[in-house]
């Protein structure tokens, strides 16, 4: 799959998201799509790329935008909403070990994070309790993408090779950054 965008750096990704959110067909979709549905569609669309170990800003931009036109992942969220909230750290390895640093670069890590985020949002939408340490600053697609892709670095990371951990960081930034 050849991405439809040419994005050499995080600063360019930030500019693209800002531009798309401000006008045209994407802007309408960004404003109207519920964030949990958007993330579920993003999870769905990334399944076709999960064997790709190295990502680019082009591919990430393409996935972020294509998720606006994609169906949410078919998944039964009911059991997750019925049981008591149990936060599960997204890594299976002990922090700051070689195994941990290898694990956070994988699609499996990305997938655990996005599933947890979708579950959080569905719990929020159903007015179910979340622990006080679970914080959501951005509950719209627009805010999530704007904060998740925000970069102050002007082309510092130009043509950088990325992995699923970097994409997962965008998800984390989108959730927590103010």
Residues 116-149: pLDDT tens digits? 999 999 989 888 888 878 889 999 999 999 999 8
- Distance between CA 34 and CA 36 in Å, rounded? 6
pLDDT (0 to 100) of residue 157: 56
Residues 22-32: pLDDT tens digits? 878 888 899 99
Strand partners, 55: 162
Domain range annotation of the chain: 10-176
Name the band, by pLDDT with cuts 50, 70 and 90, for residue 173.
very high
For the chain, helix, strand, coil in percent to 5 are: 55, 0, 40
Nearest-5° angle of CA 39, CA 17, CA 150? 90
DSSP code string of 79-109: HHHHSPP----S-SSPTTSHHHHHHTTSHHH
Residues 94-118: pLDDT tens digits? 888 999 899 999 999 999 999 999 9
Name the band, by pLDDT with cuts 50, 70 and 90, for residue 87.
low
Q: Is the whole-model pTM more than 0.75? A: yes
């Amino acid at each position: 799959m050849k991405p439809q965008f040419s994005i050499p750096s995080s600063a360019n990704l930030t500019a693209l998201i800002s531009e798309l959110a401000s006008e045209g067909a994407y802007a309408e979709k960004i404003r109207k799509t519920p964030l949990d549905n958007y993330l579920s569609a993003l999870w769905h669309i990334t399944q076709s790329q999960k064997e790709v170990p190295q990502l680019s800003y082009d591919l990430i931009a393409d996935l972020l935008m294509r998720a606006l036109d994609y169906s949410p992942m078919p998944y039964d969220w009911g059991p997750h909403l019925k049981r008591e909230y149990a936060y599960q750290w997204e890594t299976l390895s002990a922090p700051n070990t070689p195994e941990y640093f290898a694990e956070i670069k994988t699609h499996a890590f990305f997938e655990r994070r996005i599933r947890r985020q979708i579950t959080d949002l569905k719990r929020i939408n159903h007015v179910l309790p979340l622990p006080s340490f679970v914080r959501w600053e951005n509950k719209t697609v627009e805010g999530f993408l704007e904060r998740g892709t925000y970069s102050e670095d002007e082309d510092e990371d130009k043509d950088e090779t990325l992995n699923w951990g970097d994409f997962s960081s965008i998800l984390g930034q989108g959730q927590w950054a103010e």
